[in-house]
Structure 1
Amino acid sequence: MRRRKQAKKEPLLTSWRFLTVCAFIVVAFASLFARAAWIQVVSPDRLRMEGDMRSLRTAVTSTTRGMVMDRNGEELAVSVPVQAVWADPKQVHGEQSLKKEQAWQALADVLGVPREKLLKQVENPKRRFVYLQRQVTPAVAEYIRKLRLPGVHLRPEERRFYPTGEINAHMVGMTNIDGNGIEGIERSYNDWLTAQAGERRVRKDRTGRIIEDLGVVSEARQANNIQLSIDQRIQALAYRSLKRASEYYRATSASLVLIDVKSGEVLSMVNSPSFNPNNRGQYQSFRARNRAATDAYEPGSTLKPLIVVSALENGVVNANSIIDTSPGWMRLGGKRVSDTRNLGPISVETVLMRSSNMGMVRMALQETPEQLIDTLYRFGLGIDSGTGLVGESPGLVPQRRRWSDIEKATLSFGYGLTVTPLQLAQAYAVIANGGVRFPLSILKREQPPKGEQVIPKQHADSVLKMLEAVVGPGGTAGNAAIPGYRVGGKTGTSRKAIAGGYGNDYVGLFAGVAPISDPRLAMVVVMNEPQGDQYYGGQVAAPVFAEVMSGALQLMNIRPDGAKDEQFNLAGQEAKRVPHT
């Protein structure tokens, strides 16, 4: 018994296993201490960086795109607040959001998309951002907010709205879904209309609340508004009249341009067919083309007044000259040039009033091509108008080393060159303004710019008087007459060129000014490819001119200057009604 007790030994507290464990613990604590000291004292930057990555955020201040307004301050393009619906697929999967099947079905229903499409967009758990739908209304956004779907969020954005719709679609243009201009003024002045968002550095907690504002990173730049020269009252009248006429005559397209003679401002510019800029789903680039500035046509007889100015300036004729158009036709270079009948000896005024091709050819053949081309350039044909409109065409004024007689002849009555409705309107504004050409503008001007005298005033005044005869009795533009106002203008009808010659389609034009006593407005109406028996400019374009010009003169409170005898009689009748005192 005693031997067993002696044989049993007490355990040693300092066995090698215990020492080994203690050594590991000491080393671990020493390592942790060294690491903490290194991070806290020697190299704290990385720790700060890691913390900043989790808490520092850049907050972007909201910005609003500038408005587009007409000359009277009426809004043509504004930005309205909307919401974008986006998802964080990683959060969706991490918080098992997909188990809420009814909520996802409700989300799909309110967005108008299949539920399977939504689920496919968030199926990749490695993605952190995906748009579910852009620019939803505030009501839809509130409904989505109440669904409380983990991983589905809202963010504020803007949607461009155009109150006047298709009336100003070609002029104002439109933006894409990201708010960048893609057509019209929205594109031409995109930088001016676009604001630059400001940035602030903030610190957020894990719930996304801002707990510290660390200051401004970059200052915001406010957007600028644009005030156009367009008068929305006239614009609406012009669009309704042009659209109704183009549909009645089944024209492929139609354009109208109205210019303030005294300032060079474009008061109206419309096209048909148009489009609704508020519906991007139906956007087609060919419908968005501003044809009044981009499409060039052979002007036909509307060019004749400019050729008469050239003849007057170069001494070929004077305002009282008589031109012999007998026998009513001639052959040049194997081609026949003729009038509808033999008009015989007629005045220069009658040449324009009856739109005599023979009279124009007689004058043009006595001028050099350089003289004719120089006059056209001074009227603004063949050059850019400088308005800055998207896709504006300079037209085409021919430049040849050698000119045949038939080429000069056809040029004299508006063939062999192309002009845009905008250029033609500017040319007639020059005639109406006594030979002074103002640079055109689609922006409202505070005061008229300095004009350039491009043709002598006496010649411009002479041709203006002749244009009044064209609208009067015996002229080709009786449909352009406006009761109470003296109006001048010229009709034009040109055949559309095709490969190898001219086809069976026509362009009907009318260009005119009013009131003649003190011209204020110049207008051009173009009907492209009207169908049916009526296609002459005096039939399809002149009535539109009369309707729109009449309304514009009244809206601008321009005093009537015609029918003085009638006004006198009416004044006398009113005087008889007032008892003498």
Structure 2
Amino acid sequence: MKLFNRPNKKTQSSKSTPFLKWRFAIICGFILLGFFGLIARAAYIQVLEPGRLIQEGDARSLRVQLMPSARGIISDRNGEQLAVSVPVQAVFANPVEIFKHGGLSDTNRWNALADVLDLNRAKLLQRIEKNKNRKFIYLARQVSPPMANYVEKLKLKGIGLRAESRRFYPSGEVSAQLIGFTGIDGHGLDGIEKTYDGWLTGEPGRRTVRKDRYGRVVENISQQSRQPGKPLELSIDQRIQAIAYRAAKEGVMDIPATSVSIAISDVRTGEILAMVNAPSFNPNDRNDRQPYKMRNRVITDTFEPGSTVKPFVVYTALKNGIVNEHTLINIPQSKHFRVGSKVITDVSRIEPLATVQRILQKSSNIGVSKLSLAMPVEDILDTYRKVGFDEPSGINLIGETTGHFPNRYRWSDIGRATLAYGYGISLTPIQLLHAYTTLGAYGIKRPLSILKTEKVVPGEQVLDPKIAKKILLMIESVTDKKGGGGGWRAAVPGYRVGVKTGTAKKAVAGGYGNDYFSYTVGVAPISHPRLAIVVMVNEPKGDKFYGGAVAAPILSKVLGGALQILNVPPDADTLKIDK
């Protein structure tokens, strides 16, 4: 019995597929084509375009971590800190991580987070829900260490802390407008902080790492050290600054007035020793930053300087030989002097024949008007230019403005007369201080500086020193109460003080309103000038509004304190400087 039948050879051969060479060749061709294509692609990627793939890979795995650097410290001339950076934390959320670990189900802890950050509970949850596909959002910036510790103890998945710094101002409102403040990103927004932002801002460190798909650091690539900001030493003496601010704040309340501004300079160097405004604000409290409080009026507000320019008119008359110290000028006893269709009036009665010193002492508008009309107006304007009435003070603070300096070819007689007692021209308090700093330096003009100077700037001799000394003696008589000086309230016991008071109506559209600027500016001690000071009272209320009545007492208080702090020897009993 046969178990298997042997197949018939004819049948088997008839069913087998014939070998086709052309088909085999085509298949091999496609295989070789694909093989060479892969080789070409690999060669293209590896040789001709490796950078793009490396870049794409790095974009997915490399991360740069910033290491914040501290902002430079701002200090006064004696090293007292006025602005420092303190370490704080920022609270951030990773919504992707949050929803990977249960989302927002633990309501109590999420509510606790909202409460400690002072955020609305519902809005916090909605914000995270809305950004569920993002890996980073800030929840709060610059939180205090106790708050950061509480957030950390909540142990919420996807909630983290990031180190940053916050600016703190130890002097508070005393130096607020001068120092300014920074924004949430640490850059200056106003005052010194903004003016010297590039100097104070450090360079943050950078750490480059490679992370895997789970966010774990697998390789440290590089690290760049952080560079802290540079410190800044101001010319301000915080002791004098505090005295000036206290006097300004009391003046606003006691006069009362809309604002009081004070600035003091060292006539030997041009350094600013104090610059204050009241009302002020607390730079550590963002809710207290109101525009009318934040304005540094010493460098921004302009006003017609009134009688404070009269010493420079007398200087010009003496310089040009129009008069000398003994020349007598006729003053009408009616206290009225007609110039064209206008009438110039004196507030105080003065002798029929008065010297230029007496004109300054009694602040006679008629007297300086006659001096102005007796000489070319270009001579007065030239003196005004020399002492800086037409230019910035050199202090280089952001926000500084310049007033209006007249520039015309034709002048009426009344225009020339009113120019002599401070109308038709406008200045800022810092410009007026600059002029009297130049006068106190016996005519040497230096730019004012808010930074402590390493060495004294030589300056430029713009006024005749002999005549400048005579003018200082003349304005000293303004503080003589027995002689009828209008600025006697500015006198400082033990010191010889020269001042000039001024009062001017505030200009409004179409003319002048009913409000006033009242100011007093001075130099002390007269024997060896050390300090120049300006006090401006904006819109004094009540019956007293003249500079000698409202600004002079403030000047006396501040100047007396400053002279004592600097240990300037009293000179009231010394001989007067040479005439």
Q: Given the two structures, how large is their TM-score scaled by the length of structure 2?
A: 0.88
Question: How big is each residue's C-alpha offset from its partner over 1:416-473, in whole Å with a ceiling of 9 and x where there is no partner?
Answer: 1111111111111111111111111000001110111101011101100001111012
Question: How big is each residue's C-alpha offset from its partner over 1:70-115, in whole Å with a ceiling of 9 and x where there is no partner?
Answer: 0111111111111111112222222223011111011011111121
Instruction: Please tell me whether the aligned partners of residues 242 and 256 of structure 1 are also in contact (alpha carbons under 8 angstroms).
Output: yes
Matches within 5 A, 1:91-490: 91-124=97-130, 125-204=132-211, 210-216=217-223, 220-327=226-333, 328-340=335-347, 341=349, 343-472=351-480, 473=482, 474-490=484-500
Instruction: Please tell me whether the aligned partners of residues 293 and 420 of structure 1 are also in contact (alpha carbons under 8 angstroms).
Output: yes
- Residue 292 of structure 2 aligns to a residue in which SS? coil
Give the Å deviation of 1:143. 0.9
- Residue 233 of structure 1 aligns to a residue in which SS? helix
1:550 to 547, 553, 560: 560
1:342 to 1:48, Cα distance in 2 relative to 1, 3 A: closer
Give the Å deviation of 1:357. 1.0
1:49 to 1:174, Cα distance in 2 relative to 1, 3 A: closer
Counterpart-to-counterpart distance in 2, 1:251 and 1:185: 27
Instruction: Please tell me whether the aligned partners of residues 88 and 151 of structure 1 are also in contact (alpha carbons under 8 angstroms).
Output: yes
Give the Å deviation of 1:210. 4.2
Give the Å deviation of 1:6. 10
- Residue 410 of structure 1 aligns to a residue in which SS? helix
Give the Å deviation of 1:208. 5.2
Counterpart-to-counterpart distance in 1, 2:520 and 2:425: 17
Instruction: Please tell me whether the aligned partners of residues 202 and 227 of structure 2 are also in contact (alpha carbons under 8 angstroms).
Output: yes
Instruction: Please tell me whether the aligned partners of residues 57 and 202 of structure 1 are also in contact (alpha carbons under 8 angstroms).
Output: yes
- Residue 553 of structure 1 aligns to a residue in which SS? helix
The amino acid across from 2:402 in the alignment is P
Counterpart-to-counterpart distance in 2, 1:554 and 1:489: 19
Give the Å deviation of 1:59. 2.6
Deviates more, 1:190-199 or 1:484-493: 190-199
Counterpart-to-counterpart distance in 2, 1:486 and 1:118: 66
Counterpart-to-counterpart distance in 2, 1:348 and 1:49: 82
Give the Å deviation of 1:157. 1.0
Counterpart-to-counterpart distance in 2, 1:334 and 1:253: 36
1:502 to 1:256, Cα distance in 2 relative to 1, 3 A: same
The amino acid across from 2:400 in the alignment is E
Instruction: Please tell me whether the aligned partners of residues 234 and 267 of structure 1 are also in contact (alpha carbons under 8 angstroms).
Output: yes
The amino acid across from 1:91 in the alignment is E
Counterpart-to-counterpart distance in 2, 1:503 and 1:62: 53
1:47 to 1:303, Cα distance in 2 relative to 1, 3 A: closer
1:285 to 1:413, Cα distance in 2 relative to 1, 3 A: same
Instruction: Please tell me whether the aligned partners of residues 259 and 523 of structure 1 are also in contact (alpha carbons under 8 angstroms).
Output: yes
Counterpart-to-counterpart distance in 2, 1:262 and 1:326: 41
Unaligned runs of 5+ in 2: 6-34
Give the Å deviation of 1:407. 0.6
The amino acid across from 1:215 in the alignment is S
Give the Å deviation of 1:38. 10
Counterpart-to-counterpart distance in 1, 2:45 and 2:516: 83
Instruction: Please tell me whether the aligned partners of residues 177 and 295 of structure 2 are also in contact (alpha carbons under 8 angstroms).
Output: yes
Mapped pair 1:563 → 2:573: yes
Question: How big is each residue's C-alpha offset from its partner over 1:97-153, in whole Å with a ceiling of 9 and x where there is no partner?
Answer: 301111101101111112101111111322222211111111111111111111111
Counterpart-to-counterpart distance in 2, 1:48 and 1:508: 71
The amino acid across from 1:353 in the alignment is Q
Counterpart-to-counterpart distance in 2, 1:40 and 1:199: 35
Question: How big is each residue's C-alpha offset from its partner over 1:504-550, in whole Å with a ceiling of 9 and x where there is no partner?
Answer: 11111101111111000000000010000111111111111111111
Instruction: Please tell me whether the aligned partners of residues 97 and 151 of structure 1 are also in contact (alpha carbons under 8 angstroms).
Output: no
The amino acid across from 1:189 in the alignment is Y
1:418 to 1:198, Cα distance in 2 relative to 1, 3 A: same
* Equivalence for 2:26: none
Mapped pair 1:534 → 2:544: yes
* Equivalence for 2:523: 513
- Residue 363 of structure 1 aligns to a residue in which SS? helix
Counterpart-to-counterpart distance in 2, 1:61 and 1:488: 55
Q: Given the two structures, how large is their TM-score scaled by the length of structure 1?
A: 0.88
Instruction: Please tell me whether the aligned partners of residues 479 and 497 of structure 2 are also in contact (alpha carbons under 8 angstroms).
Output: yes
The amino acid across from 1:321 in the alignment is T
Counterpart-to-counterpart distance in 1, 2:44 and 2:434: 77
What is the RMSD of the two structures over their aligned residues, measured on CA atoms?
A: 2.7
State, as a whole percentage, how many aligned pairs show the same letter: 48
Give the Å deviation of 1:238. 0.2
- Residue 294 of structure 2 aligns to a residue in which SS? coil
Length, aligned pairs only: 541
Instruction: Please tell me whether the aligned partners of residues 200 and 231 of structure 2 are also in contact (alpha carbons under 8 angstroms).
Output: yes
Counterpart-to-counterpart distance in 2, 1:58 and 1:197: 12
- Residue 286 of structure 1 aligns to a residue in which SS? helix
Instruction: Please tell me whether the aligned partners of residues 256 and 269 of structure 1 are also in contact (alpha carbons under 8 angstroms).
Output: yes
- Residue 504 of structure 1 aligns to a residue in which SS? strand
Counterpart-to-counterpart distance in 2, 1:102 and 1:283: 35
Counterpart-to-counterpart distance in 2, 1:215 and 1:131: 26
Counterpart-to-counterpart distance in 2, 1:500 and 1:247: 31
Instruction: Please tell me whether the aligned partners of residues 350 and 362 of structure 2 are also in contact (alpha carbons under 8 angstroms).
Output: no
Counterpart-to-counterpart distance in 2, 1:130 and 1:86: 6
The amino acid across from 1:131 in the alignment is Y
Instruction: Please tell me whether the aligned partners of residues 200 and 215 of structure 1 are also in contact (alpha carbons under 8 angstroms).
Output: yes
